[in-house]
Structure 1
């Protein structure tokens, strides 16, 4: 069993201190609810405030890592840290950090697929590596927002044996139905739990639609939030993954030699 908390925040545009205060409060709330892990949304630190990227991008992710590690250690809870803008060697990235309940860094992932409709490709550099980690001894994977539309990328991660796919996002209101359908498809085709956290609120050009949720390996909704700020929990029975995969061995029946091109 793995108890997860979903933190659907109203990310404040270009307001690091206010957003850090929100994150501190929701991590404490998740710990009080006896969650083993809490999940944050994409770009929770600043939103898509690219006009101030030069001053807001976290150099080497140092401030974000210190902040999340401290919270994980203080509340003894693992954190799938959504994502933030980071800078390394002069390039900016959309980066997810995951920490265990002792504050140790488990993974660092740079968003691989940059979303041109929100100008990510004009400001950020794409990542090149998958995001795989063990969370409470559970093999897991993590992706960021637009990555969701690339099932071949996700299948490469899930084929390693991952049982939970964490998805963090700033997904616009007008495409929430697609958000739900794509997440359900990823759960069904990978026979895995999908834990997806979106934000709400708006920036100067976009409105975000919430509907953070958990799907089980059969594509059934375990828990779901609406379009307002909120917090919910779900307990994942990982034996369900084993049962579903054993009943229909999709991964064993793959023909990857035919899938190129």
Structure 2
């Protein structure tokens, strides 16, 4: 698919109400599909407040998340990057992103690699160790969860594996929203690829999330930006821009990996 319609679903998460959050996101996802989106992206840890991961009842919740988004993706023949949810596995609690393909199957499970040291995350979550890469309608796509975007090494590894589109599911505080926007633009410019970041916008007693979900093209230009309120918008990404950007400014083709390796 040369032009990919992507829906950014920016939501305000209800505290300790995963059922309400799921219902809102299912409704927004279905609406985006009817408006022409082929890919829908949700924010980080939408199934609960940030951070109330003491709950043990994650298995039943995981089953419902998988079932509902699988049905929705299959019904609309779309892909769903289902944000991230706190899920318990054999190793412990993980911050996990599920990606559903247009047939309703899970085509990728990605666990957040860089666990943030604040908001009790370091003590709560086990870090992932595997790159998140999948194919979305002919677009090789990399998945990041929030803090992952601050690590250029991770993003470069994805780009070197052929990724042309980065999807970032976030829960980024309002007070640091400048960093969120800057990092997303920087990762696009460094790798000359598209980057889409979807953030939360709820207000809690401990932290306020800043919204400002956005899409940036391979030139580093912002082609869509939301404000700090709940909203769903669709952006259309043109695959040809990746190669055009790399020919226009040959940063990507001027890399000298064989030299960089000598310094490590």
Give your verdict on TM over 0.5. yes
- Whole-angstrom distance in 1 between the partners of 2:53 and 2:232: 30
Deviation at 1:52, TM superposition (A): 3.1
Deviation at 1:32, TM superposition (A): 1.3
Cα-to-partner distance string for 1:138-196 (whole Å, 9 max, x where unaligned) = 11101000001101111101111111100010000000111111111011111011111
- Whole-angstrom distance in 2 between the partners of 1:191 and 1:44: 30
Say if 2:192 and 2:252, in contact at 8 Å, map to a contact too. no
- Whole-angstrom distance in 2 between the partners of 1:76 and 1:11: 26
Verify: 1:255 aligned to 2:262, yes or no: no
Q: Which residue does 2:31 correspond to in 1?
A: 29
Deviation at 1:137, TM superposition (A): 1.1
2:202 is paired with a residue whose SS is: strand
Structure 1 residue ranges without an equivalent (≥5): none
Verify: 1:101 aligned to 2:102, yes or no: yes
- Whole-angstrom distance in 1 between the partners of 2:142 and 2:251: 18
Deviation at 1:60, TM superposition (A): 9.7
Is 82-91 or 140-149 further displaced after alignment? 82-91
Q: Which residue does 2:8 correspond to in 1?
A: 6
Q: Which residue does 1:160 correspond to in 2?
A: 161
Deviation at 1:28, TM superposition (A): 1.2
Verify: 1:171 aligned to 2:187, yes or no: no
Structure 2 residue ranges without an equivalent (≥5): none
Cα-to-partner distance string for 1:196-215 (whole Å, 9 max, x where unaligned) = 10011123311000000100
1:46 is paired with a residue whose SS is: coil
Aligned residues: 260
Within 5 A, what are the aligned runs for 1:82-121? 82-121=83-122
- Whole-angstrom distance in 2 between the partners of 1:47 and 1:107: 24
Deviation at 1:90, TM superposition (A): 4.9
Q: Which residue does 2:222 correspond to in 1?
A: 221
Q: TM-score, normalised by structure 1?
A: 0.94
- Whole-angstrom distance in 2 between the partners of 1:33 and 1:240: 24
Say if 2:91 and 2:126, in contact at 8 Å, map to a contact too. no
Q: TM-score, normalised by structure 2?
A: 0.93
1:54 to 42, 53, 56: 56
Q: Which residue does 1:75 correspond to in 2?
A: 76
RMSD between superposed Cα atoms in Å: 1.6
- Whole-angstrom distance in 1 between the partners of 2:65 and 2:115: 21
Deviation at 1:62, TM superposition (A): 3.2
Q: Which residue does 1:63 correspond to in 2?
A: 64
Verify: 1:39 aligned to 2:41, yes or no: yes
